[in-house]
C-alpha cells in the first residue's frame, strides 16, 4: 500500500461541488482583490475565532511579519520565540530587524512557559507563541509572564485552527492571532493565504493599511506598506472550508484516536497531550530514538513521512550571524533528531490508518529496513 503524508485532492473531493460553485462565483464576479468574498471571509473567520476583527493577507508569514511591524517592534527589540518552530515564526521577527530570543520547548512541543521568565530582558517586547502541530501552548504560563512584564503576545496559529486551551480558541489570546491557510493546513486554501485576528481596532486598521501599500485611501500612502492581500478566489474557497472545519477536525481526531489506541511499540513514543488543550492534529508527531532508520523502514513499506523540523531555527544556515551553536537548546535539538510526522489528512481511509498502525507495531528497531 502507498500512503502519502497528506493527499490534498481527497479533501477537495470531500466538498468538490461547493468549491467549484464558490470558485465560479468569484471568477464571474469580475472583482478579484479586496472585495465581497474577502470581506465575508474576514467576518466569518473573526466570528469563528471569537474576535471582532480579521485582516486577510497573502500568507501566514505575512500575518506574523506584519503583526510584529504593526506593533512597532524593530531594531533593538527582542522577541521570545520557541526554539522548535518553523522558520517562519523567526523570520517574522528578523524581517523587522528585531532579535529572536529562543526558549526551549516542553514535552508537549510547545514553548516551555517555565523558562520564559529567565529569557526576559529590558529589551523584550513580545512573546511569539506557536501552537505547534495543532495543540495549544501553555497559555496560562505565557499570559502570566506577559502580564508581569508588559509584553505583547503574538500567536502563531498556522497549525492550530480550531484548537482551544481551557475553552478559549487559539488566536483569541494574544493581541494578534496569526493564521496560515497554506493548502496542507487544517483550514487550507488552494494557494497561499493568511489572516490576522485581533480585538484591537487600531491594530486592525494599521494591518489593513500595511497589507495594501500603506494606504487606507487609494494612492494616499501614509506608511510604508507591502502588497499582501487575500484574493477573492481564495477567500471564496476558504468560506466553503470554514463551514466544514468542525467536521474536518473531527475526522482528524478520529484518525488520531485510532493511532493513539493502536500504536503500541516501545520504540515509538506517542504525542503527549497537554491538560486543558484539545488537539486538532495538524500533524501526528511521534518520537523515535533511531528516527532516520524508522523513516526508511516506513518508506520501504510505502508510507511517506516528514520531519517537522529537521533543523531548529537557531542552527539554520541563514542564522549563523546569531552566533548559536549545537548544544545551546539541547531539547529542541533532540526533538529535531527524533520527531516524525505520520500520515494524517482528511479523506484518509480506515484501511490506510490500520496499515500505518500495523507497520509501526511491526517495527523492531534500526536495521529493520
By CB under 6 A, residue 163 contacts ligand PLP = no
By CB under 6 A, residue 180 contacts ligand PLP = yes
- Rounded Cα–Cα distance for residues 226 and 207 (Å): 10
By CB under 6 A, residue 61 contacts ligand PLP = yes
Nearest distance, CB of residue 130 and ligand PLP, angstroms = 5
Nearer to ligand PLP, 77 or 192 (CB): 192
By CB under 6 A, residue 59 contacts ligand PLP = yes
Nearer to ligand PLP, 12 or 179 (CB): 179
b/e map 118-154, b = 16+ CB within 10 Å? ebbeeebbbbbbbbbbbbbbbbebbbebbeebebbbb
State the CB neighbour count (10 A cutoff) for residue 215: 15
By CB under 6 A, residue 156 contacts ligand PLP = yes
- Grid coordinates representing 157 are 496559529
Nearer to ligand PLP, 268 or 307 (CB): 307
Look up cell 508510507; give the residue: 303
| Burial class (CB within 10 angstroms; exposed 0-12, middle 13-18, buried 19+) of 220 | exposed
Cis amide bond preceding 309, omega within 30: yes
By CB under 6 A, residue 60 contacts ligand PLP = yes
The residue sitting closest to ligand PLP, measured at its beta carbon, is: 60
Q: How far is CA 200 from CA 55, 156, 184, 195, 266, in A?
A: 12, 17, 29, 15, 48
Nearest distance, CB of residue 21 and ligand PLP, angstroms = 25
* Binding residue for ligand PLP, selected from 102, 182, 284, 297, defined by CB under 6 A: 182
Cα 122 versus chain centre, distance: 29
By CB under 6 A, residue 100 contacts ligand PLP = no
3 state SS of 347: coil
Nearest distance, CB of residue 369 and ligand PLP, angstroms = 29
Nearest distance, CB of residue 159 and ligand PLP, angstroms = 5
By CB under 6 A, residue 295 contacts ligand PLP = no
Nearest distance, CB of residue 60 and ligand PLP, angstroms = 2
State the CB neighbour count (10 A cutoff) for residue 340: 20
By CB under 6 A, residue 359 contacts ligand PLP = no
By CB under 6 A, residue 133 contacts ligand PLP = no
Interface with ligand PLP in residues 311-330 (CB under 6 A): none
3 state SS of 33: strand
What does the binding site for ligand PLP look like in residue numbers (CB under 6 A)?
59-61, 85-86, 88-89, 130, 156, 158-159, 180, 182, 192, 194
Amino acid at each position: 500500500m502507498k500512503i502519502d503524508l497528506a493527499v490534498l485532492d481527497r479533501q477537495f473531493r470531500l466538498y468538490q461541488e461547493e468549491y467549484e460553485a464558490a470558485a465560479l462565483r468569484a471568477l464571474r464576479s469580475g472583482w478579484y482583490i479586496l472585495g465581497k468574498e474577502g470581506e465575508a471571509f474576514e467576518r466569518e473567520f473573526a466570528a469563528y475565532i471569537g474576535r471582532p476583527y480579521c485582516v486577510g493577507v497573502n500568507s501566514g508569514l505575512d500575518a506574523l511579519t506584519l503583526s510584529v511591524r504593526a506593533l512597532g517592534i524593530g531594531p533593538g527589540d527582542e522577541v521570545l520565540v520557541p526554539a522548535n518552530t518553523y522558520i517562519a515564526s523567526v523570520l517574522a521577527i528578523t524581517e523587522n530587524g528585531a532579535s529572536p530570543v529562543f526558549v526551549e520547548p516542553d514535552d508537549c512541543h510547545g514553548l516551555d512557559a517555565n523558562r520564559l521568565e529567565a529569557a526576559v530582558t529590558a529589551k523584550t517586547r513580545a512573546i511569539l507563541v506557536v501552537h505547534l502541530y495543532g495543540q495549544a501552548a501553555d497559555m496560562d504560563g505565557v499570559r502570566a509572564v506577559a502580564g508581569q512584564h508588559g509584553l505583547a503576545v503574538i500567536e502563531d496559529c498556522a497549525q492550530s485552527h480550531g484548537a482551544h486551551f481551557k475553552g478559549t480558541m487559539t488566536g483569541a489570546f494574544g493581541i494578534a492571532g496569526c493564521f496560515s491557510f497554506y493548502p496542507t493546513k487544517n483550514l487550507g486554501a488552494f494557494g497561499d493565504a493568511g489572516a490576522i485576528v485581533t480585538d484591537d481596532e487600531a491594530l486592525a486598521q494599521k494591518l489593513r493599511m500595511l497589507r495594501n501599500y500603506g494606504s487606507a485611501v487609494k494612492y494616499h500612502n501614509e506608511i510604508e506598506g507591502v502588497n499582501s492581500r487575500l484574493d477573492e478566489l481564495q477567500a471564496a474557497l476558504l468560506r466553503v472550508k470554514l463551514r466544514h472545519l468542525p467536521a474536518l477536525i473531527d475526522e482528524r481526531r478520529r484518525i488520531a484516536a485510532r493511532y493513539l489506541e493502536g500504536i503500541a511499540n516501545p520504540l515509538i513514543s506517542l504525542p503527549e497531550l497537554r491538560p486543558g488543550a484539545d488537539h486538532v492534529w495538524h500533524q501526528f508527531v511521534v518520537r523515535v530514538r533511531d528516527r532516520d532508520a524508522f523513516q526508511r523502514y516506513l518508506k520501504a513499506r510505502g508510507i511517506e513521512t516528514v520531519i517537522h523540523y529537521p533543523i531548529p531555527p537557531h542552527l539554520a544556515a541563514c542564522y549563523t550571524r546569531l552566533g548559536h551553536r549545537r548544544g545551546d537548546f539541547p531539547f529542541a535539538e533532540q526533538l529535531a533528531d527524533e520527531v516524525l510526522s505520520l500520515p494524517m489528512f482528511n479523506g484518509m481511509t480506515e484501511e490506510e490508518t490500520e496499515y500505518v498502525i500495523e507497520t509501526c507495531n511491526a517495527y523492531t528497531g534500526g536495521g529493520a529496513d
